Structure 1
Amino acid sequence: MSPTFKKHVCRYAATTLTALALWNCSSDSSHDDSIQAFQLGTQANVALNLDYSDTPLIDSLVLDCYGPDTLHFVHSVEKKLFNLDVFPSDEWIFKAKLYANGTLMQEGEITTALEAGATINLKIPMHALVGFVYVEIPIGFGNPAGIKKGEMKLTSKDESYTYPMVFNSDNVSFKSGDLKLNREYHITLTMQDESGKSIFSLEDDFSLDENSPIPNFQIASLRSKIALAIELAKDVNVQVTLKLPATKRAPVVNDLIVSEFFVVANDKDSSQYNFVELYNGSTDTLALDKCSLGKTSSVTGAADIGTTSLPPNEVLVVGNRGTANIAGIYKYAENMPQFGKTSGSIVLQCDGNVLDSLYYGKSDSLHVAPLSVGSSSGDNRKSTQLNIGLWNKRNEPESWCTGAPTPGSISACGN
């Protein structure tokens, strides 16, 4: 489940690192005896896997290795498993550093002996240095609640810090600077409309240290009826003063949009299938029982989505394959239209109203700047993906890109 409201209080508790083989390697040793040792297979293989707690705003992991060679690696932490071949030695020193929120958050060190031809796993205990607070709240496409400003205030002992709200497409966020560990903090978070009327407020107390868990708040929607789940946090005061529509309803324009489509699947490859991905950018759960996907605005030949409820900030993948293992919700459409592989249209409509439509492929008198579509031949076929931050410019080709299909995951070609 993708939480629609997150508060991360990052302590960077003792986290383990089970090895690393990484990028940007620099070595001081390039002599003939080193090359000969490599050719004879006398190096040791170290398997490294970073196992860290779910932490927002991670920048990079840095590993420095000191032994017969001096090695330096920088990794962007998308992957956790790597392999590193190093020369045997009675003493190898591995120093790891984790950067997040623009600063050094964790570090750890381990010393070990490595024998020729050995294959081992290493664990490096990581120790927290500082912490921070990060809050992200979705506000829906077009900001229907009318949120204009807000702030987060943190108080600890005789110190007080105030951080502004930042707009990020369909959500707002609050981010603190570095915070001292082993302290109690009080958080006050508020959001107001243009006239200064309070729309949302939250107050809570929490501890920031290496050993305590990370409190996690999840709010399904900024509506008059709130689903609030609290884990490990006590005495939380949440207030919503703005009365908004019901939490489950039929979609309207700019609620539900096409965020990705793949129409060039290889029929001979059982792992590929054509699909259209839909994203709920509203702050409500949408009932899609009267929605369909077609090649034109006519419902004739369109695929009925059927009885489906799509929560806010979630994705629905409609495909022509019986089952699919994806991160979001999958719906098999037995009568999925045969969308053109080189050019065509995709039309989403609900209860007779067109909510979204796009044209891809070849330009003509009606479509001067169509969207790009992946090649229909070869092994590395690509889908067309929307940069969700440009949802209101989705009719422009620059808002889209082509890349490896990611059904069920909101990403623009790996970004």
Structure 2
Amino acid sequence: MRDSRLQKILFTLSLFAICMAGCSQSEKTEGPNPLKTSVHLDAVCKSLPLTDSLVLDLVGPDTFHVVLGDLEASVDKLLNPGSWNFYAKYYANGLLVQQGEVAAELSAGEEVNISISMRAVAGFLFVRIPLGLTNPMDIASGELSLVSGKDSQSYPLSFTAEAATVSTGMLVIGQTYDVHLELFSSSGELLYQMDSQVLIDGENFALNWELNSLHADVSLSIKSDSLSTFSATAFLPSKLRAPKAGDLTITEFMTEGKDEFVEYYNASLDTLDLQGCSLWATSSSSFKSMVEIPETVLLPPDAFLIFGNDSMPGRDIPVKLSMPGTKGSIALRCGELTIDSLFYVSEKTVTADTTGAYAGISPFAVDSKWSLQLPLENYKNRENGLSWCNGEFSLHQKANCAD
């Protein structure tokens, strides 16, 4: 649900706008010019689901068309003096959802602060249902329906490796919609249904619903004719439990360097209590326990946990690693239970081997400058080195392959 503090988006020190995910990048600042006006377009961070772009049009003695994409947040311009109109349009889910405009008279040699108040012009609803990498609930299809007066709309679910999603088309500001969601198994059994009502207004125009916990052991035991209607407009809390084999999978690691690390992904639909769990890895030719996870660590579904050296930004569990770049093993254990394990061997090691010890093994592209990353859709074949890619660190995020 959108924070009311974000109802008005201001463009200051020229134009403050919505940033897509972070406010760190900007165009190179143009040098001072006493004959022009210095205008800095800087973005106030805001998050909307399915963000596309923020489009700025600067119309005056000259015309500039600027498109800010993901992770872009600021622009600097030197503008000729005169009458200017500044237009801002924010797109998400393929729709124009906010816009604003302001006029200003610019004089030579000055720096100007301009504010644009953004207003909502359309809305949409986005629903995300984590499936876990094995889809234990067997969610195979579903439909989201909206009704407002005589107007009705229906949208089928789309599926990726780890989630089912559905987004609506344009919803009218000021309208109230009755919302109905149904999920079905591969055999056509009704697994889940939800009814709710939403008002699309200037404050709540981009609604983001996430169903975090639909447990197979509960939902699949309920017959279709006994399902009661659910009312939900917020997060459904996930179950807290100890991990089982396969709940966590390694998704990224780095060997041979000061920033050695190992990343695990919670592929289940539950929050996992990692008390009693530990990271094991090859170090100095021996496979041993590297660190035990603190008792307080609870890992939500669809979240990442990173083991890394003390100096490494973004790590969750500090540990001194010394994993060889030639070959080694990495595992996560909880007590006597192995939750996940991986054996890797580098391409150089396989190429140099003359004994045939690695015959039939698909090597990993171990690199001293890039981490090895696993796209989630390849998790079933993660023991195959070809399932992994090299890329810049993508900590706490999905794979960021360089190719």
Q: Distance in 1 between matches of 2:177 and 2:372?
A: 45
Residues 41 and 309 from structure 1, CA distance in 2 versus in 1: closer, same or farther, beyond 3 angstroms?
Answer: same
Tell me if the contact between 1:14 and 1:128 (Cα under 8 Å) persists in the aligned partners: no
Which residue identity lines up with residue 102 of structure 1 in the other structure?
G
* Secondary structure in structure 2 of the residue aligned to 1:121: coil
Q: Distance in 1 between matches of 2:54 and 2:128?
A: 24
Q: Distance in 1 between matches of 2:7 and 2:33?
A: 41
Q: How many residues align?
A: 361
Residues 202 and 85 from structure 1, CA distance in 2 versus in 1: closer, same or farther, beyond 3 angstroms?
Answer: same
**Shift of residue 217 of structure 1?**
4.9
Residues 165 and 348 from structure 1, CA distance in 2 versus in 1: closer, same or farther, beyond 3 angstroms?
Answer: same
Which residue identity lines up with residue 347 of structure 2 in the other structure?
K
Q: Distance in 2 between matches of 1:117 and 1:77?
A: 32
Q: Which residue of the other structure, out of 6, 15, 24, is the alignment partner of 2:9?
A: 15
Q: Percent identity?
A: 27
**Shift of residue 126 of structure 1?**
2.0
Tell me if the contact between 1:187 and 1:203 (Cα under 8 Å) persists in the aligned partners: yes
Tell me what 2:289 maps to: 302
**Shift of residue 212 of structure 1?**
4.2
Tell me if the contact between 1:251 and 1:287 (Cα under 8 Å) persists in the aligned partners: no
* Secondary structure in structure 2 of the residue aligned to 1:357: strand
TM-score, reference length from structure 1: 0.76
Taking only aligned residues, the RMSD between alpha carbons, in angstroms, comes to 3.5
Residues 199 and 72 from structure 1, CA distance in 2 versus in 1: closer, same or farther, beyond 3 angstroms?
Answer: same
Gaps of 5+ in 1: 1-6, 23-36, 227-234, 240-244, 267-272, 376-380
Which residue identity lines up with residue 282 of structure 2 in the other structure?
K
1:345 paired to 2:323: no
Post-superposition Cα deviations, 1:283-337, rounded to whole Å, max 9, x if no partner, equal 12234323422129x9842313334432211111111217x653xx71122xx44
Which residue identity lines up with residue 372 of structure 1 in the other structure?
A
Q: Distance in 2 between matches of 1:9 and 1:166?
A: 27
1:392 paired to 2:375: no
User: Which segment drifts farther, 387-396 or 143-152?
Assistant: 387-396
1:257-406 maps to which residues of 2 (within 5 A)?
257-266=249-258, 273-288=259-274, 289-295=276-282, 300-306=287-293, 307=295, 308-321=297-310, 326=314, 330-333=316-319, 336-340=320-324, 342-350=325-333, 351-353=336-338, 355-363=340-348, 364=350, 365=356, 366=358, 368-375=361-368, 381-397=369-385, 399-406=387-394
Residues 386 and 108 from structure 1, CA distance in 2 versus in 1: closer, same or farther, beyond 3 angstroms?
Answer: same
Tell me if the contact between 1:89 and 1:115 (Cα under 8 Å) persists in the aligned partners: yes
**Shift of residue 225 of structure 1?**
7.8
* Secondary structure in structure 2 of the residue aligned to 1:251: coil
Residues 305 and 412 from structure 1, CA distance in 2 versus in 1: closer, same or farther, beyond 3 angstroms?
Answer: farther
TM-score, reference length from structure 2: 0.78
Residues 85 and 262 from structure 1, CA distance in 2 versus in 1: closer, same or farther, beyond 3 angstroms?
Answer: same
Gaps of 5+ in 2: 18-29, 220-228, 351-355
**Shift of residue 401 of structure 1?**
3.2
